[in-house]
Amino acid sequence: MVTKEYAMAYKEVVEILKYVPDEDVKKIPKEKLEFYKNNMDNDYGYKLDMTKEFEKQEMSDITKAILANIFRDYWATPYQKERIEAKEKYDLEKLEEEKKEKYNPDDIFKKHKEEKAIENTNLPIEVKKETFFKKLISFIKRLFNKTN
């Protein structure tokens, strides 16, 4: 079952491929083209605006990803493929490093220990109560200070 977003993206891809030269479209396997046509949203009215450049055309991110994969797999030169695959590998490694730093089990346990250490530094404070006798003396002292 194809989601609505993908069905709309397949419609956009099929519409865009209508403007691509036939020799390039023939490089795409027929099964893939049939899949796009069979699963596209026929009620979605997507049209290319021929007055705009391709980069400025409105299309979904899914459509852009599908077209990028088509380019990489069927239209790119060996050099371009190599560069694209190197970039994808670099991005994936960078993402994995970020995950490793964020979810490193050693750091998680360190932070937990540090939090416990901080919690234990709050020691109880001794509160001294004034005895009745001391209260009486301080009251008398205040009376004499007011009269002077």
Nearest partner of 36 among 58, 12, 52, 57, judged by Cα: 12
Tell me the pLDDT band of 146, cut-offs 50, 70 and 90. low
Give the tens place of pLDDT for each residue, 9-45: 999 999 999 999 999 999 999 999 999 999 999 998 8
Q: What is the pLDDT of residue 33?
A: 93
Higher pLDDT, 121 or 145: 145
Tell me the C-alpha distance between 111 and 133, whole Å: 51
Q: What is residue 46's predicted lDDT score, i.e. its pLDDT?
A: 86
Maximum Cα interatomic distance, the chain, rounded to a whole number of Å: 110
Can you give the pTM of this predicted structure? 0.62
What's the pLDDT at 107? 67
Neighbours of 43 (CB within 10 A): 8
Name which residue leads in pLDDT, 20 or 140: 20
Where residue 57 falls among pLDDT bands split at 50, 70, 90? confident
- Average pLDDT, stretch 110-126? 61
In angstroms, the CA 29 to CA 36 distance is 11
Q: How far apart are CA 130 and CA 147, in angstroms?
A: 24
User: What does the pLDDT look like over 58-113, one tens digit per residue?
Assistant: 889 999 999 999 999 999 899 998 998 999 999 999 999 988 888 877 666 666 55
